[in-house]
Structure 1
Amino acid sequence: MPALPRLIDASGQPCYGLFPDGVEEINYLDFDLRTVMDKPRSQLARRFGANQFQFISLLSSELIVGVAIVDLKLVSSAFVYLFDPHTRRFDEFSFLQPLARGTTFDSRPGSGRAVFEKGRNRITVDAAGEAGVRQLLVELADGTRIDARIDEGASQQPLSICTRAGYTGWVFTRKTAARVCTGSVSWRGQQFDLRQLGALAAVDWTTGFMRRETFWNWGSLSCRLPDGRRLGFNLAAGVNETGFTENGIWLDDQPIKVDMVDFQFDRAKPLAPWQLRSADGQIDLRFQPVGTRQEKLNALLLASNFKQHFGQYHGELRVAGETLTLDGAWGLVEDHYARW
């Protein structure tokens, strides 16, 4: 079946549910946004009420990379981090732009473009240039450069979902994991070839009118099994759980839906192990954090307490009639509170 052309229909209402064939455009400005007392909101309120972000991870046993562009309209931000699992070397770069200056974020999750610029630092995510490819280009003032091509050919089947958020809002998200990527990373005078590393990518593209105060826990994996198959997952709790969930596994290019997931961890001990278990028994994992990218912001209207841990997964996934064992596969978990 063809992809849904637009998320918001002619009456100004979003289409809710899972979209196996995707959604071409998230036309959020056409949404009939109203107050909790059913009064229509203005075009300006729609423009500044929607949040958009895109996060990309590149994972291997020799290099871990995380890159994000966040457009909150009143402010935009971006971050880049790199971690070497062998040397434990870690670098992080964070940027803010008032009123989202130097930031563009297209409304097409599968074929759009996002750009963040500040000074001599530029991050571009481009899925519009070459069919079946999402290009990530990071050029930082200190010389760090990431040039990655992520395979988004016809074989991929993203998890695309739209759910209600609070009384008046909604969130659309499109997730992929364990995608083949090629290219290079230049960092601190060292060159990394992503193909030689066997690096795999995950992409999170999200837009919506989110709850004023929200939180989520999240887990992501992109790895290769001993037999060479690619394994990835996207797991979350606290967001996108109204009627549908964004939880899924990819075994090579086959998507497998997962039920609700419970995250057990001690927020006061950030490097203590996490436990992740799904209600349907497909997920039974322990995650051991090794390092953290974190940020705390409390600025009147906006606030964020963000912790993204990189580390190793151990345990079992019971999928498609077989049990898959993880013994130290590198991945991510996240604990995030936001007021926006």
Structure 2
Amino acid sequence: MAARDQLINAQGQPTYGIFPEGVRELNYLDFDLRSPLDRKRSQLAKRFGFNQFQFVSFICDELIVGLAIVDLKLVSNAFLYLYDPENGDFEEFSFLQPLAAGTHIEPRPADGTAEFRKGANEFVIRASTTPGVRRVMVNLSKGVHIDATIDESTSYQPLAICTRAGYQGWVFTQKSAARVCNGSVRWKDREFDLQALNALAAVDWTGGFMRRETFWNWGSLSCQLRDGRRLGFNLAAGVNETGFSENALWLDDKLIKIDMVDFQFDRYHPDHAWAMRSADGIINVHFEPSGRRQDKTNALFIASNFSQYFGRYHGEIRLPDETIVLEGAWGLAEDHYARW
């Protein structure tokens, strides 16, 4: 089955559901955007109403990296954080651009480019289907450099879905985890070889006409089991779950869908453990934070209360033919409120 060429059909409506082969282009300007009282919105309103972001992580026992490019039209943001689990070193960088200056994200999840530039600081994420790779390049004036590629070849099975968002909106997201990667990260006069460290990558590509005010909880795992298999998951609650959900796990390259997930945690005690359990009984894990990247923004029409944690997962993943026990695998969790 070939990937769907465009998300918006001839009637100006998105196709909702799960796309096993993905979607080539989010032709969002063809969307028949209307107000809640059915008044047609202009092309300008569509351009400014469409939000996009791309998040990538690289995880291994020796290094955790999280980075993102976010385009909210009125403002754009890029951030990067790095954490060394062995000695506890942590450093983060964040950049804002008014009116998304120096920022461009092409609306093609599998072969588009996302770019953010501010002064001497540059973030580029470039995907290509031939060959199937996603290249991540970061160069910061403070001396941090990343040049890495993520394997998205013939065995690539991302979770690509489109769901309703509020009365008139929709969101498309494409997620993957536990992907093979290679390349280097230079940080604090050290160079990390991602392939030699058996690092694994996760990708979140999201775009749409999102709810004006929303929140989500999120969990991400990318690890290698003792028998050599790669295990990853993407878990979420509060967003992208209108008729469908973005919950899935990957065992090596096999995608396994997961039911709704309940997150239990204490927002006001960030060092306390989280519990994550799925309604189908597959996921029964807890997450122990080791640290977090936090950002609170309140700027006129836009607000954000963002906490992304890095830490260890323990518990069980119960599949029909086996139970996989997690014993301190590194991963991420997030609590996020947004008004945009």
Aligned to 2:71: 71
CA distance in 2, matches of 1:158, 1:328: 25
- 8 A Cα contact 2:318 2:324, kept in partner: yes
CA distance in 2, matches of 1:247, 1:110: 20
- 8 A Cα contact 2:287 2:312, kept in partner: yes
- Number of aligned residue pairs: give it: 340
Shift of 1:204: 0.1
Runs of 4+ in 1 over 3 A off after TM superposition: none
Evaluate the alpha carbon distance shift between residue 4 and residue 68 of structure 1 in structure 2; reply closer, same or farther with a 3 A threshold: same
Shift of 1:128: 3.3
1:250-329 mapped onto 2 (5 Å cutoff): 250-329=250-329
Instruction: Calculate the TM-score normalised by the size of structure 2.
Output: 0.99
CA distance in 1, matches of 2:191, 2:9: 48
1:86-235 mapped onto 2 (5 Å cutoff): 86-128=86-128, 131-235=131-235
Shift of 1:320: 4.2
Give the 3-state SS of the residue equivalent to 1:196 in structure 2.
Answer: coil
Gaps of 5+ in 2: none
CA distance in 2, matches of 1:251, 1:318: 12
Aligned to 1:25: 25
CA distance in 2, matches of 1:130, 1:299: 41
1:89 maps to a residue whose letter is: D
Deviation by residue 1:171-192 (Cα, 9 ceiling, x = unmatched): 0000000000000010010011
Give the 3-state SS of the residue equivalent to 2:128 in structure 1.
Answer: coil
Shift of 1:81: 0.4
Aligned to 1:15: 15
Shift of 1:314: 0.1
CA distance in 1, matches of 2:21, 2:339: 32
Shift of 1:321: 1.5
Give the 3-state SS of the residue equivalent to 2:45 in structure 1.
Answer: helix
CA distance in 2, matches of 1:205, 1:69: 10
Give the 3-state SS of the residue equivalent to 1:272 in structure 2.
Answer: coil
Deviation by residue 1:97-123 (Cα, 9 ceiling, x = unmatched): 001000110010001000000000000
Give the 3-state SS of the residue equivalent to 2:195 in structure 1.
Answer: helix
Gaps of 5+ in 1: none
Shift of 1:319: 1.8
Give the 3-state SS of the residue equivalent to 1:54 in structure 2.
Answer: strand
Shift of 1:130: 5.1
2:28 maps to a residue whose letter is: Y
Give the 3-state SS of the residue equivalent to 1:173 in structure 2.
Answer: strand
1:286 maps to a residue whose letter is: H
Deviation by residue 1:220-269 (Cα, 9 ceiling, x = unmatched): 00000000000000000000110000000000000000000000000000
CA distance in 2, matches of 1:112, 1:128: 7
Decide which moves more: 261-270 or 123-132: 123-132
CA distance in 1, matches of 2:161, 2:129: 25
Indicate the percent of aligned positions where both proteins have the same amino acid: 66
CA distance in 1, matches of 2:126, 2:44: 27
- 8 A Cα contact 2:56 2:68, kept in partner: yes
CA distance in 1, matches of 2:51, 2:71: 6
Instruction: Calculate the TM-score normalised by the size of structure 1.
Output: 0.99
Deviation by residue 1:137-164 (Cα, 9 ceiling, x = unmatched): 0000011001111000010100000000
Give the 3-state SS of the residue equivalent to 2:117 in structure 1.
Answer: strand
